[in-house]
Structure 1
Amino acid sequence: MRRRGRHGLLALWLAAGCSHGATPAGPPRSPGEPAASAPRRAFTLGDRAIEEVVRAVSAARQLSPQRPVAVERLDHARFVERLLGSRDEEPSSEGSLSSEAAFLLGFNFLPQPGQRGGLSTVDEVLKEQVVGFYSRVADKVFIPDVALASEDDLLEQRAVLAHEVQHALQAQHFPDMPEPKSSDEAIAQLALIEGDAMVAMGAWLGAEAGAPVGRTLRRIVEVTRRIPLASVTRGEASTKLDKALDLTKKRLEFPYRDGMLLVTDVYRAGGFPLVDRMYTRLPRSTEQVLHPEKYLAGEPPRPFADPRPPPGYALSAADTLGELDTRILLERCVAAEVAERAAAGWAGDRFGVFAGPDRRLATAWISAWDTEKDAEELEAALGQSAACWHENALGIERGDYTIGANIAVRRQGKLVAFVRGLPEGAQAALAPHLFTLAGPEPKPTPLTDRPIPPRVRLPEPTPGRLEGDVYRNGWLDVVGRVPQGMLGHVGGDVEFVVERPDALVRGGMSVSTRITSDAENEKTFGEVQASFVRDVAELSMRVEALGGGPVTTALGAGVERAWRVAGTSMELRLVLVPICAGTGSIVFVQAYGDPYARSVLDGWMDSFRWTNGRNLTACDFLDPK
């Protein structure tokens, strides 16, 4: 344990409880309880912990269970068997042409046969790291009953459970899910389901740290970064996935990451009641997920009829590409920012892949765009990328399905036609037919007229400064003073410290990002007491609690708690002053050895004043709108 000078122990006590909701090192001992060697901890997710997660998720996401959420723990082998048993077998692409294989080959998402060594299957990806899933058929959450190596592993499994519990609550509250009309619409619907579960998990993680939901969902990416995406995608972002197709990786990540951002934007527009309304109007396209304002405005994709096969060909696959797959398609051949910009004006599409003589494939794709400029950008991007439409084959055996490199791109107003793999004359004849497949531009039907607030950068905490004996902090909008005869310094674990090196009188001021509810205040007091008890026990001494309660400070009403080292006059006092509607607090810590030292520190606390009428910059961080 690192010590600093004579009062290093007190420095440690000052830092405790002001670490922005950090997890305590362990449960507090009763005052006076002697120190003991810590037994080896067992990191397991027991029944009580599971029940606590269910209750906390329900409260954080504001969805009450309509029936108990069933959770079953299985050993690893049974867990994997149950997970894979709920999936349909993947269609083989060797020697036969499934619609998925036709799509992959038709748009050149498959590498050439000689470059496919080591590609992972979805089952291999799932087997690699399985951590939890919810089955609608069984109406049950399944988690593996495995030994956990650390507190971090336990947190991860609890977070995964929170994610899957939200899926169970979705099934209870929103049981009727319409059948998607395309694979793009299916991914968009999944983005709502998984994005909502990611938000519920993030809200649970925030609640664990004492953060309000509004702040958590504004910082959702940072909050959920502690939990690897592999944990909630059932291992899909793993080393096996590293060997999967780029299309597969991005499709698997999209519902979780982009779905999470969609749901947080809708939450910021109208709270969880508006998020719940999303289940009455599911996203229709990945465009609506990528552009939440288009979802709320109710901009549906333009309808198209299926392309008809040219003479001598038969339809093998017909579907909608969507903005996500269009972006991934273009990223193979142009810079990512160019691909994103070119795909951003998507307004609807339909494609067909056809099998013809000698197992030769052809692709026809018609797409609509928001403006003619958007259509021109796609036309240019497809034309620039002609070099990546190379000859390709489904397998390496002679006589397998193949497709040529030749393409044709035509534009008509806001429509773009793309044809691949046909002889030049046939391609020229097919393009005009594709323009006739476009239906009328649909009228929007808004879900709400509430706008999404701009996602402006939150004002991150900044340290104060000392000007002589005056302390100023622009982020907290407070000013204080160093007592006469004492030294002051800023920075480090505690924002502002005053002390005398020759006497036991030391004060610290910092900010806690925990909400100031009774329960969260008790967590802070418990952490400080636990740290105090442990460190005093190292000196073969014990701590007695002095109690506490409401207190009036120069900055407003607060709550205090105090402790004493038994048999001495040494005391530790902690004062929490709520700020920003209780979404955080200014924390004062006092350590003193006699009543006079206590009075000096009380005078120091009384020197603090608001500089801007409690209109704190910090509130834009602690309680963002």
Structure 2
Amino acid sequence: MIVTHDHVVTLLVAATLLVSGCAAPVAESNYGAWPDDPRTDRIGWESGYWYNESIDVDQSDGLNATERDAFVARTMARVERVRGLEFEESVDVDVLTRAEYREQSGGDGEAAGPGWNDQLWEALLLVGEDRTVESVFDDLYGDAVLGYYSPSEERIVVVSDAENPVIDRATLAHELMHALQYQQFDVRGAPRTLDGRLAEDGLVEGDARYVERLYEERCDGEWDCVSRPDREIPRDDFDRGVYLTIYAPYSEGPTFVRSLRDRGGWDAVDAAYANHPASTEQILHPEAYPDDRPVEVAVPDRAADPWSRFDREPVGSTVGEAPIFVMLLRRGAIPSATLERDTGAYSRYNYEANASAGWAGDAVVPYRSDGGEFGYVWATEWETKRDAAEFSAAYETALRTGLNATRAGPNTFVVEDGPYADAFRVTRRGTRVTVVNAPTRGQLDAVHERPR
């Protein structure tokens, strides 16, 4: 559920998506007789179609209006059958050209002001000073998004330049599940941190992806299904670190939802919408939900002129366990093979490693100077002193190996050139690890004076 301008976006590189182009002819065998239309709406029947009813759909020349209506209606009935919930109203499926989508979209959904959000992602060593977060997300979404659900407009949009686009059945089911979520639950909470948004997405996207997978399992067995179109070749020039961060809910969310369902059936999943996951730690470790909540991390303001915090509330954000894993992975502190090791039945990747597990809470607070320079203080709390030591060592490895930093003094590192050319002070006290960042070594104390 990557939300931009009130859109729940699905990415080309994330999964099998709504795809435009040509597909092989599809023909379904008849099931035989099916029940008459019910007198009132019910689960497994929508707009004149039962979930197990054959439809006359041939995508070899695209979908005309009649085919699209039948395809959407039966998919709605099937999503109801899988999930055990009733659509309260129909869902429109429309088409935007790529140019129209680019014109309407932009940014990553945060309006924190210039510099603040850039410092958040720079603290994760994922977006350096040669770029802005907005430009990275614009590039990722502009070329990669092939479909989204708009809650405010209550419609699914296919992004395509084809006059009659074809639709991937699995992603249609996925996006329709988003529509069902918004009709049935209070989906949109008010997470104000990166970790909070990714955690909520772990439930919402996890539910949709899990239903999508269950749908596909039935297509492999009991259901006749519209053939899936050829997939477009995924782009290989996208920002992999940012992508892996925002993809964490898609990868780990289905396993989280499966865990809830194993505990208490779909009722347990439904109940989670009234008690959203509080952190990506709970998504990655379902046993931590709902009781193991993150600790609040306070960062005392010890800045000296000309440095100050941004005039906003809250002053900082929490990044969480999943983004920390990605940071360490991308900067060589976690072996790259870890990402695809022991992924499980419903997870695309693995986001767990010793250096990021044991996270208990964190806070990133960006700073700026009167001269237009930027820095930040990032305080992390860990479950044990050993967890803190493992993270601290891995973070220093990320600086040295990933950014070619050199040690400039006790606990102090300097990156001489490149988009992360800054000074870093890394200190560990008990279960807390604090990173202070400034343009130069001499400015570290001005951003955050050492405690006396």
3-state DSSP of counterpart to 2:157: strand
3-state DSSP of counterpart to 1:46: helix
> Does the 8 Å CA contact 2:367/2:447 hold for their aligned counterparts?
no
Structure 2: 5+ residue runs without aligned partners?
1-24, 33-57, 340-351, 406-414
- Match runs of 1:40-51 below 5 Å: 42-44=61-63, 45-51=67-73
Instruction: Name 1:305's counterpart in structure 2.
Output: 298
Instruction: Name 2:29's counterpart in structure 1.
Output: 27
Task: Check if 1:143 corresponds to 2:154.
Answer: no
Structure 1: 5+ residue runs without aligned partners?
1-22, 31-38, 213-225, 395-402, 434-625
Instruction: Name 1:365's counterpart in structure 2.
Output: 378
1:326: how far off?
1.4
Instruction: Name 1:340's counterpart in structure 2.
Output: 353
Alpha-carbon distance in 2 for matches of 1:430, 1:358:
19
Q: Deviations along 1:508-545, whole A, 9 cap, x unmatched?
A: xxxxxxxxxxxxxxxxxxxxxxxxxxxxxxxxxxxxxx
3-state DSSP of counterpart to 1:342: coil
Q: 1:210 to 1:429 in 2, by over 3 A?
A: closer
Task: Check if 1:415 corresponds to 2:432.
Answer: yes
Task: Check if 1:289 corresponds to 2:283.
Answer: yes
Instruction: Name 2:78's counterpart in structure 1.
Output: 56
Q: 1:227 to 1:200 in 2, by over 3 A?
A: farther
Alpha-carbon distance in 2 for matches of 1:377, 1:357:
36
1:227: how far off?
9.2
Q: 1:227 to 1:103 in 2, by over 3 A?
A: farther
- Match runs of 1:422-437 below 5 Å: 422-423=441-442, 426=445, 430-432=449-451
Q: 1:173 to 1:383 in 2, by over 3 A?
A: same
Alpha-carbon distance in 2 for matches of 1:386, 1:82:
38
Equivalent pairs counted in the alignment come to 361
3-state DSSP of counterpart to 2:146: coil
1:299: how far off?
0.6
3-state DSSP of counterpart to 1:263: helix
> Does the 8 Å CA contact 1:409/1:418 hold for their aligned counterparts?
yes
Q: 1:91 to 1:270 in 2, by over 3 A?
A: closer
> Does the 8 Å CA contact 1:73/1:145 hold for their aligned counterparts?
no
> Does the 8 Å CA contact 1:84/1:123 hold for their aligned counterparts?
no
> Does the 8 Å CA contact 1:110/1:245 hold for their aligned counterparts?
no
Q: Which of 383, 387, 394 is the matching residue for 1:374?
A: 387
1:373: how far off?
1.1
1:191: how far off?
1.7
The share of aligned pairs that are identical, in percent, is 24
TM-score by length of 2: 0.68
Instruction: Name 1:323's counterpart in structure 2.
Output: 321
Alpha-carbon distance in 2 for matches of 1:129, 1:330:
25
Instruction: Name 1:261's counterpart in structure 2.
Output: 255
Instruction: Name 2:146's counterpart in structure 1.
Output: 131
TM-score by length of 1: 0.51
1:424: how far off?
7.8
Alpha-carbon distance in 2 for matches of 1:323, 1:281:
20
Alpha-carbon distance in 2 for matches of 1:88, 1:248:
13
3-state DSSP of counterpart to 2:427: strand
Alpha-carbon distance in 2 for matches of 1:252, 1:425:
31
CA RMSD of aligned residues (A): 3.9
Q: 1:333 to 1:420 in 2, by over 3 A?
A: farther
Q: What code does the residue aligned with 1:426 have? A: D
Q: 1:246 to 1:307 in 2, by over 3 A?
A: farther
Q: What code does the residue aligned with 1:138 have? A: E
3-state DSSP of counterpart to 2:171: helix
Q: 1:430 to 1:323 in 2, by over 3 A?
A: farther
Q: 1:145 to 1:259 in 2, by over 3 A?
A: same
Q: Which of 419, 423, 431 is the matching residue for 1:406?
A: 423
Alpha-carbon distance in 1 for matches of 2:435, 2:240:
22
Q: What code does the residue aligned with 2:436 have? A: V
Alpha-carbon distance in 2 for matches of 1:89, 1:334:
27
Task: Check if 1:356 corresponds to 2:408.
Answer: no
Task: Check if 1:71 corresponds to 2:92.
Answer: yes
Alpha-carbon distance in 2 for matches of 1:69, 1:256:
25
Alpha-carbon distance in 2 for matches of 1:40, 1:166:
22
- Match runs of 1:471-486 below 5 Å: none
Q: Which of 165, 172, 181 is the matching residue for 1:170?
A: 181
3-state DSSP of counterpart to 1:175: coil
Instruction: Name 1:243's counterpart in structure 2.
Output: 237
> Does the 8 Å CA contact 2:426/2:436 hold for their aligned counterparts?
yes
